[in-house]
Amino acid sequence: MREKILNKIKEMLAELGLPSVAVKLDFPEDFAYGAYTTNVAMALGKQVGEKPVDLAENIAGKLRSNLPAGVGEVKVALPGFINFFLTSEFLASVVSEVNQAGKNYGLNNSRVGQKIIIEYTDPNPFKEFHIGHLMSNTIGEAFSRLVETSGAEVKRACYQGDVGMHVAKTIWFLRSQKLKDESEKWGVEELGSAYVTGSKAYEENDVAKKEIIEINKKVYDRSDEEINKLYDWGRKVSLEYFETIYQKLGTKFDFYFFESETGKFGGQLVKENLGKVFEKGENDAVIFPGEKYSLHTRVFINSEGLPTYEAKELGLAKIKYDKYPYYLSVVVTGNEINEYFKVLLKALSLIYPDLAVKTKHQSHGMLRLPSGKMSSRSGNVITAEMLIEEAKTMARGNEQVAIGAIKYAILRQAPGKNIIFDMAQALSLEGDSGPYLQYALVRAQAVLSKARENFLHDLPFDGPVPSPAKFVDGALEQLLLQYPEVVARAEKELAPQHLTTYLTALASEFNAFYAKEKILDAGPASIYRIPLTQAVAQVLHNGLTLLAIPIPEKM
RNA sequence: GCUCCCGUAGUUCAAUGGAUAGAACGCGAGAUUGCGGAUCUCGCGAUAUAGGUUCGAUUCCUGUCGGGAGCACCA
């Protein structure tokens, strides 16, 4: 439809002898202004030296004598908008289009043939899976699913810090506890608190600090049998635990990358480019002189000879590409990495320029809780599991609703900004929330299943509806029509909030419709309203699936 | 101190340079023998500040004020 109207406008502009400009066709804020609107007249007004309204009338007049099929009216509004109103017949046809397309409604081909890799979550073994990881996972999974709608081949990647100081800190404490083997009843929670204790010791106790640095080296070169044993056990426990969380959250990774591999290779890369890209710094460290490029100078190899985060990330870019020659690589991390990532991309561009341009860093903000609430006994860390459990009690024990509430709270705002996560608000379970969407869908499904049982037997309605035009109200149908464009925009901008905003508008419109009109047992109107309900349910289903928000059957 | 990000109803968030700045929570008033009330209807209420660019600025540019993150061997 959009294409048809756009082409027609261009055609008319040409016939009027007006200069060709990029024509914008928008969804107006209010359906009172039609289904589509354009501002060409205002944009052209000055160029041509005519009043925008007059110009708009001129163009509209032309359009009226040559309407695209499905457009019922063209109106001009001050100060020069041209608005397009669609016919009831066309709007009714949207309903059957949605039902015919089903799960495929909203897909497009804009990225067919592209290989895209998306890295997110990135929890560290030997540490807790905290709410920051939950946030990264939620956003990354939504990105992945959105990008898949464009026909791209998407691979999900998880990058995990299985070596480094945090590991050494945890092991330091485990060793001090004289842990013999895995028969000891320790799990992830204890690993988490071992890290906290080790961390504290590192900062407060010089002896411990030295021991931890020593352990760190031994983890890298695997020279100590006792440490190896603790290490292998801890790594396994952590990774197995993470899998249970991914399952809950609806993520399945294609690739796992570990710092133990990227560190080796990244360190090598840095050494090879010493003197070219990198320089010697203080205490034998190897640095990247970021100041040359008005960035920070960063250490890539520390004075112990071990690769830092930056060197590892450098190696990772290449390792990823070797495994999966990508067209685009998206990396989702917290925004405290922003400055480092700029340095990293600069260094990468000097070594592998082609990879640097293919890499896109998308950060997310921090998940903060209103102070005082929800602090864990072991420190300030709030684990994902604790949050989910807390949410669950508020969601009448329904885990799908709990996860939906949390995910929606994260996805409703633009990524990159901090989120003040007010538990009470996210789980008020009403209004602008995940459960609100879930409820609208569950309710629609309940009506539909009742329709199947008692009323009509030929669902789904994927054929034409007899004389539906008089039952068309317009708002729901126009929203249904917008869905594919909303998805495309959210995909292109990696902006899931467009989709959450849209779905909330759709659910709200549906709930109003539900309150106002009878769907079942409404005579001929039912013949239209049942498929309409089905189309709404289909779009809610498709949209929630794209956001990886669980869809409960009952709630 | 320097660099980056951000200031929108009382609160938490939207808004591709366009129309009356859109929701939700909260507050006030209503709707229930009705397909699922975790619902619906109505009301109150906001672009930090001073300039600039533009036919038109929440959006772009500059200053000020306020908040967050980072600033050499953690990730």
- Which DSSP letter does residue A236 get? H
Q: What is the pLDDT of residue A185?
A: 58
The residues facing A159 across adjacent strands are: A257
User: With bands split at pLDDT 50, 70 and 90, how would you rate the model's confidence at A376?
Assistant: very low
Measured distance CA(A405)–CA(A434) in Å, rounded? 5
Reported as a single tens digit per residue, the pLDDT across A333-361 is 988 888 889 999 999 999 999 999 999 99
Would the Cβ of A283 be found within 7 angstroms of any atom in strand B?
A: yes
Judge contact between A87 and A524, C-beta under 8 A.
no
Sign of the CA dihedral running A485, A489, A492, A496? negative
Residue A178 backbone zone (phi > 0: left; psi -120 to 50: alpha; other: beta):
left
Residue nearest to nucleotide B69 (CA to C1'): A336
Strand B reaches within 7 A of the A446 CB: yes
The predicted structure's pLDDT at residue A3: 87
Looking only at the bridges linking them, the beta strands covering A81-86 and A71-77 are: antiparallel
Choose among A440, A444, A546: nearest CA to A487. Answer: A546
Among A95-104, A193-202, A282-291, A314-323, whose mean pLDDT is lowest? A193-202
Q: Tell me the helices (H) and strands (E) count for chain A, helix number first.
A: 20, 14
Distances in whole angstroms, Cα of residue A442 to Cα of each of A95, A342, A449, A511, A531: 19, 45, 10, 12, 16
Environment class of residue A377 by beta-carbon count within 10 Å: exposed (0-12), middle (13-18) or buried (19+)? Answer: exposed
Residue A380 pLDDT > 90, yes or no?
Answer: no
- Chain A residues 135-194 within 7 Å (CB) of strand B: 161, 164-166
The string of pLDDT tens digits covering residues A103-143 is 999 999 999 999 999 999 999 898 888 888 999 999 999 99
Q: What is the pLDDT of residue A381?
A: 67
> What positions of strand B are covered by protein, i.e. any atom < 7 Å from a CB?
3-6, 11-16, 18-26, 34-41, 54-56, 68-75
Alpha-carbon distance of A30 to A509, in angstroms, equals: 13
What mean pLDDT is predicted for residues A160-166?
87
Q: What is the pLDDT of residue A377?
A: 37
Whole-prediction pTM: 0.92
A288 CB contact with strand B at below 7 Å: no
pLDDT tops 60 at residue A374: no
Query: Is 80 exceeded by the pLDDT of residue A368?
Result: no
**Phi (first) and psi of residue A217, to 5 degrees:** -65, -45
Contacts of A22 (CB under 8 A, 6+ apart): none
Phi, psi values for residue A19, rounded to 5°: -65, 145
**Predicted confidence band at A242 (pLDDT cuts at 50, 70, 90)?**
very high
| Model confidence band, residue A184 (pLDDT cutoffs 50, 70, 90) | low
pLDDT at A460 over 60: no
Please state whether strand B lies within 7 Å of residue A124 at its CB atom: yes
CA atoms within a 13 Å half-sphere pointing along the CA-CB vector of A444 = 28
Residue nearest to nucleotide B68 (CA to C1'): A418
Check whether A431 has a pLDDT greater than 80: yes
Residue A372 pLDDT class (50, 70, 90 cuts): very low
The answer to whether the beta carbon of residue A501 comes closer than 7 angstroms to any atom of strand B is yes
Spanning CA of A508 to C1' of B39, the rounded length in angstroms is 10
| Residue A149: pLDDT band with limits 50, 70, 90 | very high
What average pLDDT does this structure show over A434-453? Answer: 92
pLDDT tens digits for A388-427?
A: 998 888 888 899 999 999 999 999 999 888 887 776 666 6
Decide: helix, strand or coil at residue A196: helix
CA→C1' distance for A120 and B44 (Å): 43
- DSSP three-state, residue A36: strand
The per-residue pLDDT for A351 is: 93
Give the distance, in angstroms, between residue A285 CA and nucleotide B28 C1'.
66
Is residue A459's pLDDT more than 60?
Answer: no
CB–CB of A111/A147 below 8 Å? yes
Q: Is the ipTM of this complex over 0.90?
A: yes
Q: Which pLDDT value is given to residue A508?
A: 94
Task: Yes or no: say if A364 and A143 are a contact pair by the CB < 8 Å rule.
Answer: no
A136 and A410 Cβ atoms separated by less than 8 Å: no
SS3 at position A298: strand
Residue whose token pair is 């931890």: A212
Q: Are A202 and A212 in contact (CB under 8 A)?
A: yes
The answer to whether some atom of strand B lies closer than 7 Å to the beta carbon of A410 is no
DSSP string, A306-357: -B-HHHHHHHHHHHHHHHS--SEEEEEEEGGGHHHHHHHHHHHHHH-HHHHH
Work out the pLDDT band at A469, boundaries 50, 70, 90.
confident
Q: Residue A313: name the closest of A266, A271, A349 by CA.
A: A266
The predicted-structure confidence for A248-262, as pLDDT tens digits, reads as follows: 999 999 999 999 889
Strand partners, A38: A25, A82
Cis amide leading into A79 (omega within 30): yes
Is the shortest CB-to-strand distance from A428 to strand B under 7 Å?
A: yes
Whether A489 has a pLDDT exceeding 90, the answer reads: yes
Report CA-CA distances (Å) from A189 to A126, A247, A345, A387, A402: 10, 19, 36, 14, 22
pLDDT greater at residue A376 or residue A216: A216
Please give the Cα distance from A458 to A471 (Å, whole number). 20
Q: How far, CA to CA in Å, does A34 sit from each of A86, A99, A223?
A: 7, 24, 72
Q: Helix A434-450 vs helix A524-546: angle between axes, to the nearest 10 degrees? A: 140
Per-residue model confidence as pLDDT tens digits over A169-182: 888 888 887 655 55
B71 C1' closest Cα residue = A296
A315: Cβ contacts below 8 Å, ≥ 6 apart: A261, A262, A263, A264, A265, A266, A267, A268, A269, A307
Q: Please provide the average confidence, as pLDDT, over all residues in chain A.
A: 87
Least confident of A144-148, A375-379, A508-512: A375-379
